[in-house]
Amino acid sequence: DMAGMDGTSTVEEMMSTLPTVLATAGPSGEPDASATAFRKNGGGYLNHKMYFATMSPEPQSEPTPGSPLAQAIDTSFGSWADFQEEMTNAAATVFGSGWAFLVLDPVTGELSVIQKPNQDSPYMDGLIPLLGIDVWEHAYYLLRGPDRGDYISAWWDVVDLAKVEEAFARVTAS
């Protein structure tokens, strides 16, 4: 039962249910054309919403020392530099079009870096995306040509960790 199908929900209400609906749209047996379309379009919407929300022309380039996000990164990756290296490598090695994400496992509380193909969302795996980089060619080709590595390096210059800290605080609040 999808919100809004009865005509009573607003677009905002329908969009707010996307993470929950996508969690049920993961791979499961026979492909369903409407589920596939929903996964691609809903995932694309959520991925891009987060992507643009976590960038800024004047970003905070590292987590606030001692912040809950900084502590979680240190616990999961060893250091901020180790996390950046893992995220950069994940983005650089996505086969074809897709994404690299920093995600939170809401069950274990652990952070990890994952790759997703196309517009698939981490919500489909029960994970909460905190930061993501779009490595579809449309994200970088006009400005950087085929140099994905140059794009990834430049992306780090606009990632706003204050926004990621806000998202982390929001999803870990008890």
pLDDT 10s digits, 104-156: 999 999 999 999 988 889 988 999 999 999 987 766 666 766 778 898 999 99
The confidence band for 89, taking pLDDT boundaries of 50, 70 and 90, is: very high
The domain spanning residue 101 has which CATH number?
3.55.40.20
Distance from first CA to last CA of the chain, Å, rounded? 28
Calpha distance 78→1 (Å, rounded)? 43
pLDDT at 100: 97
100 within 8 A of 90, measured Cβ to Cβ = yes
How many separate domains does the chain show?
A: 1
Token output for 27: 């791979």
Rounded-to-integer distance, Cα 65 and Cα 70, Å? 6
Top-ranked range on mean pLDDT: pick from 3-7, 35-39, 163-167: 163-167
What are 13-67's pLDDT values in tens digits?
A: 545 665 665 655 555 544 566 666 666 667 778 888 999 999 999 999 999 999 9
Local structure of 118: helix, strand or coil: coil
Q: What pLDDT is stored for residue 156 in this prediction?
A: 97
What pTM did the predictor assign?
0.79
Q: Who contacts 62 (Cβ-Cβ below 8 Å, separation ≥6)?
A: 80, 161
* Structure confidence at residue 165 (pLDDT): 97
Q: What distance in Å separates the CA atoms of residue 166 and residue 174, rounded to the nearest whole number?
A: 14
- 2 pLDDT band (50/70/90 cuts)? very low
Alpha-carbon gap, residue 85 to 91, rounded angstroms: 10
Quick one: pLDDT at residue 142?
Answer: 61
Flag whether pLDDT at 69 surpasses 60: yes
Which uninterrupted H or E stretch holds 68?
helix 68-77
pLDDT at residue number 5:
42
Which residues form the domain of 133?
A: 1-174
Nearest CA-CA partner of 135 in 162, 163, 114, 161:
114
**3 state DSSP class of 108:** coil
* Location of structure tokens 């605080």: 169
Band of residue 70 on the pLDDT scale cut at 50, 70, 90? very high
